[in-house]
């Protein structure tokens, strides 16, 4: 869920309690569109993050810090001039809009108190951070907007500040039943969540869906199909929802997936009760963790894009090579007919002469002994024609043997590359990407990095770590470096090894403590192997498992490649619910 007006209201409530009356000690600008204010309040330092990023615009307290440029940007210098040592008088949200105003009092050059306003507008691509001086005149902004960029509102130094346009939306805290009912009058085929979100300031689609869920459950009709009773139920749910907002009954939660914050809410949303929700200590902590995870995912995605492109290009090359080799083998399948023609010509040399264009002979290779016409080169003797057919046969036979070996190697390479594509999809940390990049470079798919960069890296990234319902530890590799380490070095001989059968995926190790593991733990480890594989979206995915002592790595084999025997197979339909039931521990 984005930082909508409701989540923002919870953050502002927290900021009012913690920062009102505080003084600004430092102003930093680590990013072009991000400001950090270090504020001394209630006897401790607080770091307030203000972002005008088009994708991550927000305001909240943060526990993190970022490196700052050697030369501060001009806007940062201006903020320092006006805000350092200034006192925060008030923090307020502008209605239910995604905009926050900080009213600040500073001392000017003459020693007089002078008001300033710092406004954060968290509105997607129109997001901005604006400093306002006396008479509501704009001093500057992190993003200047002229008439060519916007016909609605200019944001330039010297111009009077205007509030963001409301775009026909109403304040939900001032809504009445009559206007609420009018929302669903038209259009008849509109989706209800879009009707609500489009009618009220600061109401995101997830929050609108929560109101609908509380009133109508999971079966949501279109606007034109609503009954009077359903609209009444919606109005009651809408009122109760905003009663909590009005009374600031906030209890922020994070929705976690795969151990990371994937979403955040101002309080528990009933529509998300089936998800893994974690209580946060404060709205700022929830926002800080959520956006840190989001930023980390964005960095991994950005850094992996080049690797994905390289792997996909090589997959395409392999597929073309395999097609050519399969076509060659199809041609070689007819090689036997050339040997037969040579044999038949040789057996009938006594009846054939130079100059013949066709030799009509009995085919004693056929059960019916029918007559066979064999094309002849009239410029050659019959013996030379026979040798020409033998030569063609030997050439195709040699090509068949060579191409068969090449095809097997190409298929093995394709399987490896598809596995790497799956590994890239599973990466959650930059270190894991670097391990994959190093591996691809060692195998010649990429140029090698300088040794200086390698020396500064950690030796090994960390696999996933789960615990079964029986309390046994399960480890899941996220790339081939982790897979090799888990299988060949970390696992004991009696630990169980799992992998999808003939499908790229992670190596999974079930630690058995030297005992035969319960069947339920085997099922759960197999479920992890199916989930962390290319077969994740399928049904009845075959998963092989065997004790680690039956795993071997051939000499010279690619990273992540092993052979195994004495295995058994389970057929698993991957399920997110099954994975969520497993206890996720800190990565080793």
Q: What DSSP letter does each residue of 510-533 carry, written as one string?
A: E--TTSPPPHHHHHHHHHHHHHTB
Rg over alpha carbons for the chain, rounded to the nearest Å, is 35
What tokens were used for 370?
Answer: 């029918």
- The one-character DSSP state at 419 is H
By the 10 Å C-beta count (0-12 exposed, 13-18 middle, 19+ buried), 250 is classed as buried
The reported pLDDT for the residue numbered 326 is 93
Return d(Cα 455, Cα 450) in angstroms, integer.
9
Residue with tokens 């922020």: 252
Cis peptide before 187 (omega within 30 of 0): yes
- The size of the chain, in residues, is 588
Residue whose C-alpha is closest to residue 116's, from 142, 148, 80: 80
- What is residue 313's predicted lDDT score, i.e. its pLDDT? 95
> Is the Cβ–Cβ distance between 96 and 9 less than 8 Å?
yes
The count of C-alpha atoms lying within 13 angstroms of the C-alpha of 287, restricted to the half-sphere facing its C-beta, is 27
Count Cβ neighbours within 10 Å for each residue of 161-197 and write b for 16 or more, e otherwise: beebeeeebbebbebeeeebeebbeeeeeebbbebbb
Which residues in 388-540 belong to E strands, given as ranges? 464-467, 473-476, 496-500, 508-510
Closest CA to 172 of 186, 163, 161, 183: 183
pLDDT of residue 587: 52
pLDDT (0 to 100) of residue 456: 45
Q: Is the dihedral of CA 430, 433, 435, 438 positive or negative?
A: negative
DSSP class of 137: B
Q: Are 191 and 116 spatial neighbours (Cβ–Cβ below 8 Å)?
A: no
CATH number attached to the domain at 5-141: 2.30.310.10
Contact between 479 and 462 under an 8 Å Cβ cutoff? The reply is no
| Measured distance CA(89)–CA(23) in Å, rounded | 9
Chain centroid offset of residue 401 CA: 43
- List per-block mean pLDDT (blocks of 10 residues) for the chain, which spans 588 residues: 88 97 96 95 95 93 89 95 95 94 89 91 94 94 92 93 87 93 79 91 94 91 85 95 95 86 92 90 95 83 89 96 92 87 92 92 89 94 94 91 92 92 85 88 83 50 90 94 94 96 95 94 96 92 96 92 94 89 73
The confidence score (pLDDT) of residue 146 equals 92
Distance of CA 374 to CAs 97, 338, 361, 364, 377, Å? 88, 10, 8, 14, 10
List, for residues 340-395, the tens digit of each pLDDT value.
Answer: 999 999 999 988 999 999 999 999 888 888 999 999 999 999 999 999 999 999 99
Angstrom distance (rounded) from CA 94 to CA 163: 9
Q: Which residues, 6+ apart, have CB-to-CB distance to 504 below 8 Å?
A: 415, 418, 419, 421, 422, 533, 534
Tell me whether strands 563-564 and 138-141 are parallel, antiparallel or unpaired.
Answer: unpaired
- Count of CA atoms in the C-beta half-sphere (13 A) of 531: 21
pLDDT of the residue at 457:
46
Residues 264, 294 contacting (CB under 8 angstroms): no
Longest Cα–Cα distance in the chain = 124
Residue spans of the domains in the chain: they are: 5-141, 332-399, 462-584
């Amino acid at each position: 869920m984005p930082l909508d007006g409701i989540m923002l209201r919870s953050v502002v409530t927290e900021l009012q309690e913690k920062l009102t009356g505080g003084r600004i000690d430092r102003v930093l600008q680590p990013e072009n569109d991000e400001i950090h204010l270090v504020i001394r309040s209630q006897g401790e330092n607080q770091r307030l993050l203000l972002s005008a990023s088009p994708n991550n615009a927000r305001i909240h307290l943060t526990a993190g810090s970022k490196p700052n440029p050697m030369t501060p940007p001009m806007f940062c210098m201006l903020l320092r001039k006006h805000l350092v040592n200034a006192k925060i008088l008030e923090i307020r949200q502008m209605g239910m809009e995604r905009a926050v105003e900080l009213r600040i009092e500073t001392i000017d050059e003459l020693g007089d108190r002078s008001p300033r306003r710092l406004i954060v507008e968290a509105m997607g691509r129109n997001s901005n951070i604006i400093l306002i001086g006396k008479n509501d005149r704009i001093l500057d902004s992190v993003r200047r907007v002229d008439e060519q960029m916007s016909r609605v509102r200019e944001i330039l130094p010297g111009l009077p500040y205007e509030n963001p346009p409301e775009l026909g939306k109403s304040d939900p805290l001032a809504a009445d039943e009559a206007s609420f009912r009018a929302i669903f009058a038209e259009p008849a085929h509109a989706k209800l969540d879009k009707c609500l979100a489009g009618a009220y300031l600061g109401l995101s689609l997830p929050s609108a869906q929560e109101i609908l869920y509380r009133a109508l459950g999971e079966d949501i009709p279109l606007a034109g199909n609503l009954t009077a009773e359903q609209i009444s139920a919606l109005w009651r749910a809408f009122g109760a929802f905003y009663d909590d907002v009005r009374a600031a009954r906030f209890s922020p939660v994070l929705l976690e997936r795969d151990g990371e914050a994937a979403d955040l809410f101002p309080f528990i949303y009933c529509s998300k009760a089936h998800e893994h929700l974690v209580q946060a200590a404060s709205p700022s902590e929830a926002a800080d963790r959520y956006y840190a995870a989001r930023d980390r995912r964005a960095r991994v995605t950005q850094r992996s894009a080049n690797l994905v492109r390289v792997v996909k290009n090589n997959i395409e090359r392999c597929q073309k090579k395999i097609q050519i080799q399969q076509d060659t083998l199809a041609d070689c399948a007819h090689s036997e007919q050339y040997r037969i023609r040579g044999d038949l010509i040789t057996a009938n040399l006594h009846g054939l002469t130079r100059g013949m264009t066709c030799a009509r002979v009995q085919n004693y290779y056929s059960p019916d002994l029918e007559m066979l016409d064999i094309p002849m080169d009239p410029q050659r003797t019959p013996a030379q024609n026979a040798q020409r057919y033998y030569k063609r046969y030997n050439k195709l036979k040699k090509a068949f043997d060579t191409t068969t070996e090449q095809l097997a190697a190409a298929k093995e390479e394709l399987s490896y590359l598809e596995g790497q594509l799956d590994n890239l999809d599973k990466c959650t940390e930059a270190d894991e990407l670097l391990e994959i990049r190093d591996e691809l470079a060692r195998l010649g798919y990429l140029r090698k990095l300088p040794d200086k960069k390698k020396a500064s890296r950690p030796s090994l990234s960390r696999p996933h770590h789960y615990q079964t319902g029986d309390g046994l530890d399960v480890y899941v590799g996220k790339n081939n470096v982790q897979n090799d380490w888990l299988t060949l070095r970390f696992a004991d001989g009696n630990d169980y090894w799992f992998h999808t059968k003939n499908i790229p995926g992670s190596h999974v190790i079930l630690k058995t403590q030297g005992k035969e593991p319960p069947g339920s733990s085997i099922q759960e480890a197999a479920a992890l192997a199916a989930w962390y594989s290319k077969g994740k979206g399928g049904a009845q995915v075959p998963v092989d498992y065997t004790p680690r002592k039956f795993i071997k790595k051939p000499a010279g084999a690619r990273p992540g490649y092993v052979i195994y025997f004495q295995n058994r197979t389970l057929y698993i339909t991957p399920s997110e619910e099954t994975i969520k039931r497993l206890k996720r521990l800190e990565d080793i």
